[in-house]
Amino acid sequence: MEIGTKKHVSEEILLKAFNHMMLAKAMADIYEENRNITKYVHSTSRGHEAIQLATAYQLTKDDWVSPYYRDESLLLGIGFEPFRLMLQLLAKADDPFSGGRSYYSHPSSREEDLPKIIQQSSATGMQAIPTTGIAQGIKYIQEFNLKTYDQNPVVVCSLGDNSVTEGEVAEAFQFAALHQLPVIFLVQDNEWGISVTKEEARTSDAYDYAAGFVGLNRMRVDGTDFIESFEAMKKAVDFVRSERKPMLVCAKTVLIGHHTSGVRREFYRDEDDLAKHRAKDPGKILRNRLIEDGILEDLLNKIEKNARTEAEHAFEKAIAAEDPKPETVTDHIFAPTPITEESGEREPKGQEKIVMVDAAIHAIQELMWKHPEALLYGQDVGERIGGVFREAVTLGKKFGNKRVFNTAIQEAYIIGSTVGMSAVGLKPIVEVQFADYIYPGINQLITEISKSNYLSNGKFPVSNIIRVPIGAYGGGGPYHSGSVESILANIKGIKIAYPSNAADFKGLLKAAYYDPNPVVMLEHKGLYWSKVPGTEDAKTIEPAEDYILPFGKSNILLEADKTETEKGRTMVIVTYGMGVYWAKEAAANFPGIVEIIDLRTLIPLDEKLVFERVKIHSKCLVLTEEQLNNSFAEAFAHRISKNCFRNLDAPVETLGSLNLPAVPINLILEKEMLPNAEKVSEKIKEMLSH
């Protein structure tokens, strides 16, 4: 797209921009002069001020913007004063973005009169998917008339040039172009990626790269020239606001400051390069233009002097501000959930038993009928087949392809887009086709989703449900049989459910929907249809629509005989998922001797009940399908040992799969690797002999 003939930019806007540029310069200078005080790593916007301010001035309170870590001028431009930015610079308690938890220029904001900002991370390019998810959500909201806006919202995703080489950025470009979303990808190209030059990093700039994404409009602009940048961004924003189509703006900028306060320009740049960049200082370019237009130099000098004074006063005030109190360090790991007690009818009279897969389908159907903000997407979940395990069958036909739809093979996008969808008030239910394929989405799950509530100081919990078919049976082989709960359980800030029967599945899924936090539902493929011998009990009476089962509540599936317990002859098996059925089959060989606890959720974990029962029985086996070494099961066994040590008659044991890199496809080898009832029986016999 061509920028077109230059139009007049008012003197008021030009002077406003000059003032903001001088503020940004004064702030950078002050930070550099006070390196002993500005001890936390930070970047400044020196060299990028023109394009950032030009962008900021176009945005309204209904718009969304995702700045990256060099976008301090953009934040000034949308209305954040130096003092408030400095509170984050110095990690103070009243830091408006993170409460002293995150780096400078890592904002998050829901302030009513300003553009909205989801939590921003440091991982380069990772904001592209969550921000595209915002645009996806806004399109959905407008299509279903769920909210009215003063004017069509625009979403801006700001990126450094080297971040565009990230694969996840390509996923965002692809989705935005395919679905024609109202998003602007603003790429600020200063030709450096820390010490990596453009020649070392890429074959083309973002403008040429974007040509491969059909439907993604493009524009180039000199990002050091405020007037050109202002006109370009006005045209870009107006286009997206009216046409509801995506745009990429490639803005050529310069890097005058350091990469960060810790990675300094003198480490890797020579004087010729620095001189070339300083020659394009946006503040100097705008100053010269204003003088050419008849603005008195005395006025500009006064503006620069006042900016320095304002920045100095703000810095002194920020230094004096209070630090966070130590006890706040554990605030906002999760947002409070309204679901704390089991409620509703679990076993309505006159109902037949249903399989687990139908429990999930019915739960989602009931939720989607009731809540128009709910939608389901992922690979192959649409009307054509309704999931490779038929776990979403009928939903596409009932709700249409705007509420239940297929995506490309983009696990990172599927998972990461839920950040933006949640931020605008939607409840995305998404699916990763097999647990083995969740790894491309782990980056988004850890970097963006799990940290969002904590680092935004409670402003942006990510409310989603991520469905993950999991587990081995029947020769699924090395890429369709894996267990991933230990990896997920190491991610702080997400919840994990692992139901073993239809009633639990439906109740937990309902709880997950009303929970404002991110939830991963691990759904064992072998239990979906109860086709695996011994899993008939995974079928249950279908609970009523109002049934909800809270997270963190284990279930005693089988109690030991109290008389045997009094004689010290009993033990407890703690397990979940398919382990429940191995344990039940094995326990039948030891009548009255074995108690079985089904954890039902792994995060939060019902440690209280487990510890109580282990202290009663004095022997405990933690049973899992996962490979044992360094697993969730081993970690939990350690905590049980520590908390129940004085009551144990034997070490807490674990049983799981052999420590192999993958599940073999051959059925004989698969059986040898996995636990089963026979192996559990042998372990019970061994433990009871103590």
pLDDT in tens, 164-195: 999 999 999 999 999 999 999 999 999 888 88
Which pLDDT value is given to residue 7? 55
pLDDT at 2 over 70: no
**If you average pLDDT over residues 251-273, what whole number do you get?**
88
pLDDT tens per residue, range 148-166: 999 999 999 999 999 999 9
Residue range 634-655, pLDDT digits in tens: 999 999 999 999 999 999 999 9
**CA 521/CA 371 separation, integer angstroms:** 20
Q: Judging by DSSP bridges, how do beta strands 495-497 and 464-470 pair with one another?
A: unpaired
Give per-residue pLDDT as tens, 64-119: 999 999 999 999 999 999 999 999 999 999 999 999 999 999 999 999 999 999 99
Q: Which residues contact 643 (CB under 8 A, 6 or more apart)?
A: 607, 611
**Which pLDDT band, with edges at 50, 70 and 90, does 617 fall under?**
very high
- The reported pLDDT for the residue numbered 263 is 83
Q: What is the mean predicted confidence (pLDDT) over 482-490?
A: 97
User: Stretch 289-301: mean pLDDT, rounded?
Assistant: 95
pLDDT, tens digit (0-9, with 9 covering 90-100), for 11-37? 999 999 999 999 999 999 999 999 999
480 noted as active-site residue: yes
Q: What pLDDT, in 10s, does the model give residues 76-91?
A: 999 999 999 999 999 9
Q: What is the mean pLDDT of residues 467-489?
A: 96
668 pLDDT higher than 60: yes
Q: Is the pLDDT score of 197 beyond 90?
A: no
Mean pLDDT of 234-254: 98
Tens digits of residue pLDDT in 349-382: 988 999 999 999 999 999 999 999 999 999 888 8
* Total-model pTM: 0.95
Task: Answer yes or no: is pLDDT of 5 > 70.
Answer: no
Catalytic residue selected from 258, 480, 524, 617:
480
pLDDT of 228 higher than 60: yes
CA 411 to CA 253: how far, in whole Å?
Answer: 33
| pLDDT tens digits for range 114-146 | 999 999 999 889 999 999 999 999 999 999 999
CA torsion sign, 535 to 541 to 547 to 553? negative
Question: What average pLDDT does the structure give for the chain?
Answer: 95
Alpha-carbon distance of 240 to 298, in angstroms, equals 40
Percentage above 70 pLDDT, the chain: 99
Asked whether 190 and 254 are in contact (CB, 8 A), the reply is yes
> What is the C-alpha separation between 615 and 646, in angstroms, rounded?
8
Q: What are the residues whose beta carbons fall under 8 Å from the beta carbon of 494, sequence distance 6 or more?
A: 445, 449, 450, 488, 517, 518, 519, 520, 603
Gap between the Cα atoms of 45 and 584, Å rounded: 62
| CA dihedral angle for residue 472, residue 661, residue 634, residue 600, rounded to 10 degrees | -20
Q: What's the pLDDT at 606?
A: 98
Closest by Cα among 191, 220, 224, 307 to 48 = 224
For residue 268, the model assigns a pLDDT of: 87
Closest CA to 77 of 229, 213, 202: 229
CA distance 10 to 378: 48
Tell me the CB-side half-sphere exposure of residue 377, using CA atoms within 13 A.
Answer: 28
Question: How far apart are the C-alpha atoms of 314 and 316, rounded to whole Å?
Answer: 6
CA 206-244-132 angle, to 5 degrees, is 55
Taking residues 225-249, report their average pLDDT.
Answer: 98
